[in-house]
Amino acid sequence: MESSSFLVTTASGLESVAESEIVSKLEQAWVQATLRGRIIFGCTAPLERVLQLRCVDNIYAYIASFRVGPHKSDLVDLQRTISKLDIMPALSHLEMDKPYTACRIIVSASRSGKHTYSRFDAANAALEALQDCYGFKRGDSSCHDIAFRLDVIGNDGFLSVKLTPPSFRFRGSTRGFSPAALRPSIAHALVLLSDPQPTDVFLDPFCGSGTIASERATYEAKRIIASDISPDAVTVARKNCPSQVEVHSWDCRSLGLEDGEITKIVTNPPWGIQVGEVDQIAELYLQFIGEAKRVLSASGKIVLLTDQTKAVEDACLKICLRVEPLLRISLHGLVPTVYEIG
């Protein structure tokens, strides 16, 4: 079986969850490198299977890594290196309906470390190398056929070509959104951290647009329940979630559920800029965690994403629930924690 290499992006902090999704869902997959928010891996699985990964935001065909110097004068070497790479195996994943000489390309670059050039300088050097070698035309962000990606991290450069459209990370273009909706890839990682089982009776009591419940619905469950206090959120969640998800208009402090009925709660309560008074948020978290304890089975657990660390930890202490921080994610300039409670 022939193997291919891919580079995927994920929220920084979730690399370990994305790695386990890759090795568990794809045959003969091996991680070649893990960088901040990026994973390079090889596998023998066909592209259709790779495109089914759900903890990742973008998927690229990986071309190669190479040394990059720190000075602007080193960009000549970068250009020379890129012009010697064989990009054809990576381009074979794209279905082009025109010759390469008619294709418009762009190169997006990221750069971290000490360099005397900008990411735009690096991108431009790569673009010129690719144009000279293959006769590509120069495109722009709104009009191009092929998008290359160059990551410069210290002395290392990584070149890849984008395989997924912008709609990939939003699960298509028809989903409705509510304020503070989670990225589906992050919601999926939270679901995986809850260890989804076919026997689960699953609840997201702060469901917003239903992102977490929709992601949970990609695995078998006994019941999947989503609820929110906001009528607008409930309307959007009903539109977004597949039919097996029950969507209710409930306050998290008085859920319409029997004692011990739920095996897993995965949720992200209000946090970040959405929080109001500190006292109000502490009280909301305390009442929610008390109610969650009532509806959870003896072996049930909660996976919760928030930046309100004090509110969560104080509430768990008062309600006598074990609380463990699992990981921290970089998100919109904040660094919320994923907790396991129960």
Site for ligand SAM, rule CB under 6 A: 178, 180-182, 205-209, 211-212, 228-230, 233, 251-253, 268-270
Of 39 and 233, which CB lies nearer to ligand SAM in the complex structure?
A: 233
Closest separation between CB of residue 321 and ligand SAM, Å? 19
Closest separation between CB of residue 252 and ligand SAM, Å? 4
Closest separation between CB of residue 227 and ligand SAM, Å? 7
Closest separation between CB of residue 56 and ligand SAM, Å? 17
The torsion region of residue 293 among left (phi > 0), alpha (psi -120 to 50) and beta comes to alpha
30 DSSP β-pair partners: 42
Of 7 and 182, which CB lies nearer to ligand SAM in the complex structure?
A: 182
Instruction: Give the CB-nearest residue to ligand SAM.
Output: 208
Contacts of residue 204, Cβ cutoff 8 Å, sequence gap at least 6: 210, 212, 213, 216, 225, 226, 227, 265, 266, 267
Closest separation between CB of residue 266 and ligand SAM, Å? 9
Going by C-alpha positions, the residue among 297, 292, 295 that lies closest to residue 319 is 292
Closest separation between CB of residue 101 and ligand SAM, Å? 44
Of 119 and 238, which CB lies nearer to ligand SAM in the complex structure?
A: 238
Of 171 and 301, which CB lies nearer to ligand SAM in the complex structure?
A: 171
- CA-to-CA distance for 230 and 248, rounded, in angstroms? 10
Going by C-alpha positions, the residue among 209, 283, 220 that lies closest to residue 253 is 283
Decide: 178 and 6 in contact? Cβ < 8 Å: no
Residue with tokens 């319409």, as numbered in its chain:
256
- CA-to-CA distance for 175 and 230, rounded, in angstroms? 18
Angle at 237 between CA 190 and CA 254, to 5 degrees: 80
Of 164 and 268, which CB lies nearer to ligand SAM in the complex structure?
A: 268
Of 14 and 82, which CB lies nearer to ligand SAM in the complex structure?
A: 14
Closest separation between CB of residue 181 and ligand SAM, Å? 4
Q: In what order do the strands lie in the sheet with 38-43?
A: 30-35, 38-43, 4-9, 58-67, 156-162, 146-153, 104-112, 137-138
Provide the 8-state DSSP code for 256: S
Of 10 and 209, which CB lies nearer to ligand SAM in the complex structure?
A: 209
Going by C-alpha positions, the residue among 336, 327, 255, 247 that lies closest to residue 295 is 255
